[in-house]
Structure 1
Amino acid sequence: MADKGDGKKFGKLQWLLLLGALGVASMLANSFMQFDPKQKTVSTPTASDGDVSAFSSKKAESNSMAQYEEQYEAKLKDVLQTINGVGQVEVMVNLESTEEVIVEKNRNSTTQTTKEADKGAARDITNETNQEQVVLAKGNTGDTPVVTKTIKPKVRGVVIVATGASNLQVKAWILEAVQRSLGVPSYKISILPKKA
């Protein structure tokens, strides 16, 4: 009789183990069914939605920086090729950051001063509170911030490679053109002769 009791307990344990194994197997199967090998996007785990937006804004920022650099390079190349004696020219512009957009803000500041005195000692306690709120304008696509100023990105450095750069007069003209068009000091500009 003791053997039958042990057999029933072992049978229940087997059923519990079997159910647990089935549960784990179904969870694994579910995770594999959601995987799509044709899917090109890879989702990266993030702590919060704020991290996702920060990641996407960094990606957008790097794209817009590359676009700005390409625009600066194309315009500068067009200008330099029109200078007498420059010849073939290659331009590389490196920016510090993207453009800076300044928006209108409502500012509210309050100052509260309290005088306290106890046992011959007096003191003034000042509390300052500053609040800022972005001014929004209603439009067809929704509320958008009111932009007061847009500041172009600052140039970190410029490299010019031109066939006529071995001529000192042409090199001086290139330097002046770059300084005046981009507002860059001469120590951030490198002008080199292009190999023939």
Structure 2
Amino acid sequence: MEQKINLKQMVDRLLQGKKTSKIIFIIGIIGILLIFLSSVIPHKTNNSSATSTQETITSEEYTSNLETKLTELAEGINGVGKAKVMVTLENGIEYVYANSQKKSNDNTQDFDEGANKKSTDKNTLEQDVTVIDGKDGKQALVVTELEPTVKGVVVVCEGGGDIKVVENLTNAVTTALNISSTRVSVIQSATIS
């Protein structure tokens, strides 16, 4: 004869038992409710770094921003006066994308009766760029953005005829851009408007 016990009877029996079993039972019920609620309530995830659209700027915008900053820097140096700056780049902005790799090695060996052995190795490497859902659809996940390399800087300024001003300006530009002084040219202007 099979006895059927419903859930209410089981709860009543557990509640009539010892105090510790009541506490364990209540904690278990709360845990089950929390698990249920976590599966029902939608999660808010903070994947702003992964799903944010990468703000890509062009080399021209990068150069223009750099020239503006260098002009402000130059005009802040005593004796320079008004200045104009031109920056040339060796290369544009480069992006390093996240990717997954799959390597496989295949070794085949053939044996002849005359003890001749033939071995063939085949190595394959597959790389796939990681793609994420972005604001404008699917886009590659950028891991690193490499700034362009500065090829040269020309500064035309009112104080370019003074050797001390040229030295101070050259030191400022070479330090700011981490380039050699041979890549910086400071020239005195006739007039700058």
Q: Work out whether the TM-score is over 0.5.
A: yes
Alignment map for 1:37-116 (pairs within 5 Å): 64-116=58-110
Q: Distance in 1 between matches of 2:118 and 2:172?
A: 62
Deviations 1:96-126 (Å, cap 9, x if unpaired)?
Answer: 2221111100111111222334445434322
Structure 1 CA distance, aligned partners of 2:184 and 2:107?
54
Percent of residue pairs bearing the same amino acid type: 26
Task: Show structure 1 runs of 5+ residues with no match.
Answer: 1-60
Match of 2:176 among 167, 181, 185: 181
- Distance in 2 (CA, whole Å) between partners of 1:120 and 1:65 is 63
- Distance across 1 between alignment mates of 2:110 and 2:174: 60
Aligned length: 135
State the alpha-carbon separation in 2 of the partners of residues 193 and 144 from structure 1. 47
State the AA in 2 paired with 1:187.
Answer: T
CA distance in 1, matches of 2:118, 2:170: 62
CA RMSD of aligned residues (A): 2.2
**Which structure shows the higher helix fraction?**
1
Q: Quick one: which amino acid aligns to residue 69 of structure 1? A: T
TM-score by length of 2: 0.63
Q: Tell me the SS of whatever aligns to 2:79.
A: coil
Alignment of 1:137-148 (within 5 A): 137-148=132-143
TM-score (normalised: structure 1): 0.62
Q: Which residue of 1 aligns with 2:125?
A: 130
Deviation at 1:164, TM superposition (A): 1.4
Is 1:190 equivalent to 2:180 in the alignment?
A: no
Label 1:65 to 1:169 Cα distance change in 2 as closer, same or farther (>3 A).
same
CA distance in 2, matches of 1:116, 1:191: 71
Q: Deviations over 1:28-51 (max 9, x none)?
A: xxxxxxxxxxxxxxxxxxxxxxxx
Q: How does 1:29-40 map to 2 (within 5 A)?
A: none
1:178 Cα offset (Å): 1.0
Q: Which runs of 5+ in 2 are unaligned?
A: 1-55
**Partner Cα distance (1:112, 1:141) in 2:** 41
